[in-house]
């Protein structure tokens, strides 16, 4: 039987250090410490009832399964309308992307703006995909040790 060979790039994936921060915050809270955890974005309250009810109704109405990768069209239209209302600039819904959290947003931002010679700062500890994206799209990334001491990574 032959052994599976993995790509070398897999070794650069790293660990989800934000989850280590979450575990530490939860441990401190269990010890009675007053903690405001800004590490992972997990809410510290239950989902409001009207949102739970809306989710149940959506499932009962047949809204389940995959959605378009760039977001549900009606939601993108509503976001575009809200942006125009609040900022007075028309926004084409085709230019709106709705994603499920911060990781894809950061990845897309690095993909759009991360080229040789740019500087990108992102939180560390954080999600490894931030650094991985920077390495993929810039290939010349190198951590600035002084920035790392400040709990951020700065790449040049």
Among 153, 147, 155, CA closest to 127:
153
pLDDT of the chain along its 156 residues, tens only?
678 887 776 666 666 667 777 888 889 999 999 987 776 777 778 999 999 999 999 999 999 899 999 999 999 999 999 999 999 999 999 999 998 887 788 778 777 877 777 777 776 666 767 777 767 766 554 444 444 444 444 444
Q: Are residues 67 and 116 in the same domain?
A: no
Answer with the one of 77, 98, 119 that is the final residue of a domain. Answer: 98
Question: 3-class SS at 72?
Answer: coil
Tell whether omega for the bond before 78 is within 30 degrees of 0, i.e. cis: no
Residue 8: in which H helix or E strand, if any? none
Tell me if 111 sits within 8 A of 137, measured CB to CB: yes
- Domain span holding position 60: 48-98
Task: Count structural domains, the chain.
Answer: 2
Are residue 142 and residue 114 in the same domain, yes or no? Answer: yes
pLDDT for 124? 66
């Amino acid at each position: 039987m032959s052994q599976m060979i993995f790509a070398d790039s897999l070794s650069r994936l790293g660990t989800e250090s934000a989850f280590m921060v979450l575990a530490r915050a939860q441990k401190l809270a269990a010890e009675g410490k007053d903690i405001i955890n800004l590490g992972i974005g997990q809410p510290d309250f239950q989902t409001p009832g009207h949102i739970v009810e809306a989710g149940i109704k959506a499932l009962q109405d047949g809204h389940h399964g995959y959605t378009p990768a760039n977001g549900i069209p009606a939601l993108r239209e509503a976001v575009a309308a809200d942006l125009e209302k609040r900022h007075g600039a028309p926004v084409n819904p085709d230019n709106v992307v709705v994603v499920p959290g911060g990781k894809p947003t950061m990845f897309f931002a690095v993909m759009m703006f991360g080229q040789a010679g740019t500087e990108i700062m992102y939180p560390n500890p954080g999600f490894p995909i931030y650094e991985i994206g920077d390495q993929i799209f810039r290939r010349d990334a190198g951590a600035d040790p002084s920035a790392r001491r400040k709990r951020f990574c700065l790449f040049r």
